[in-house]
Structure 1
Amino acid sequence: MDNAKGSYHMKKQSILWEMALALSTRLRLRRTSPFLWGLGFCLMCFFFIGLTSFNSGQQQCDCPRSHVLRAEEPRPDLPDAYDFNPSDKHKMAILIPFRDRFEELMEFVPHLHNFLKLQRKNHHIYVINQVDNLRFNRASLLNIGFKESMDSCDYIAMHDVDLLPMNSALIYKYPADGPYHVAAPHLHPRYHYPTFIGGILLVNREHFRQVDGLSNKYWGWGLEDDEFYARLKEAKLTVHRPGNLTTGTKDTFKHIHDRRVRRRDMIKCYNQQEVTRRRDRQTGLSTIRYHIQSRKEMTIEGAPLTILNVILECDRNVTPWCDCTENVGNTKTQRKPENKEDVIVPKLDRKKHISHDG
């Protein structure tokens, strides 16, 4: 390729020189007016300038490629060029449990990608899309996202697709000392109770494995985060939260969920209400059963992401409430929890700890 370019420029130079010599010869052989001599002189100057510009172009092309763009100097102005930042020794997997939230995903992915680029954080977004006919299981999708991403990442962000960080002081740092709750109760637009760890939670690979991930018993909406908090507490892992921010519950995040358009699955059936209010000691990361239907790599406005279309498996002997079409309404039981310490959900004052949807 370089030899071809050199030959091309040599031919250009030869043509220019021949044209200049021919013009000079004709002007010497014939009697010419001062006007023609002036015109000839101008044409000679033009040819000389053209010749030097071709030479300079050849020299510019011969510059080493590393002088044009160095790997250690990432270009933040290019949305799809931020692959690896050597100053960040870790890589984060953003795990998005997902089903039928396309409009929110289109806004979320480029926003978070650009937000993390400004922090120079190595990251990749995984959308774990539940495509079966069972009820939505956020916890199981997070377990799957962890298993499918940990070959290349050493910590995860359990991230709601409808929660966009707006304050640049929210740092998605590697949580070495314990889980880091970005969407803290004093910052989240809706939930404010002290043990809340939903929305956005960062956990490193070792700690997630230590507590065996999340429970797989939570079909439908709610409580899986509270059960996970019980696991962290039992493992003596301290949850850390951001402090000294100038923003609060109304302007730290943008909450783009519209509960009038997408109603949450609040149905309780069989003995779901009794079981899911207690600590799960049977299921978790080690017991998750699923099938990857397909894996898609794509970009949204230049932001790369991986979509995992997954089919969950349900053991109806353990969690018959994965499908409530045949039993709507919680089955009444007389049995009470044997160990009060296993109860994971305290009664909350909704006016104090839960605000309206933002």
Structure 2
Amino acid sequence: MSLLKLRGELDAQQKIILAIVGVFITIALWWGLAELLSQQRPIVDGGLKVFPSVFDTTITKFQRDSIIRQDSILQTKATSFEKVYPILPPPNKVIGSYSSLLEHDELISNTGRSIWLNIQGYLWALLIALPFGFILGLIPLFRGLFSKQIDALRYLPLSALTSLFIVWFGLEDTMKVAFLAFGILVYLLPVIVQRIQEVEEVYLQTTFTLSATNWQTIKSVYIPAVFSKIMDDIRVLTAISWTYIIIAELLNRQGGIGGLIFVKSKMGQIDKVFAILLLIILIGFIQDRIFSYIDKRVCPHKYLKYKVPGIQECQYGIYFILICLLAKAIFPVMIPSIAIWVAVLVGLVMIALGEFKIFGASKDNK
């Protein structure tokens, strides 16, 4: 098959090869651009590397001309030069900066803090959006009363609302979680209403023919239909959630990778800034894969043509983990962190048992 055919399909081997080649091309372009933007910094006797002109950017033109002359004099006295990357660090310097971040900047604990804030924001947004979304989507009275106002919330510049959240919730983690949950909520709530409206009429006619009650229709048609699509919407919101986390952590730099980025950028440690950004990309990718896995196990009818043993165990494990995390988010003081770790471990064991059964069933079918 031609690789240039319009909307052509790639087989599994081609996808892997092209993905690897694409990574190497990206790294090569990154490296080349970093070298192109690099500078030679003169080193004067005594180890002086930073010249006077960088210390004050508010001086007059006459003063700047005088300082630039001082720079020129110092540069003529340079004993050696070193290559620096003030704009874009090369990949090797970015990768090498992780050791310093781990040793001196508590990268693991800061990353864990940000991930937990992200999870709490998602859980609170879902806890609020799902019931209110179903009420608005199913009951015309409430949809007519409030749908326009809710749609309008999407146009709010959320970064401009940070001062209000500080007034309402203070500067601690409660403010950050509330800000993140609100940022997800304003996008998720209209989506749930839209998904309800997209339920195919044939399913509703079937429940009507079977004389199903309103609750039976909601349980058998609306909830499965919405949940089968909502996971794709949540995956899209992953990028938005990390944007809001960085904004929230900049307001009160008491930990988290958002505050760490701010500190490192102020110190001019661009290689560490890029290292943290790469870490955020990796976390976002892992989150996307986790959401994709949850979608496949919670809504297996989208991917499987028949019932497979082990799916139920996976679902129980996923539900157990989500319920425990939600309980921790609602009652953070009452539930110790060690209990959550144990609960997550138990849930993972249940999921592993289910996956083992699914793997065995797939081998038997072959």
Larger relative contact order (C-alpha < 8 A, sep ≥ 6)? 1
TM-score normalised over the length of structure 2: 0.22
- Larger strand share, 1 or 2: 1
Larger radius of gyration: 1
The structure with the greater share of residues assigned to helix is: 2
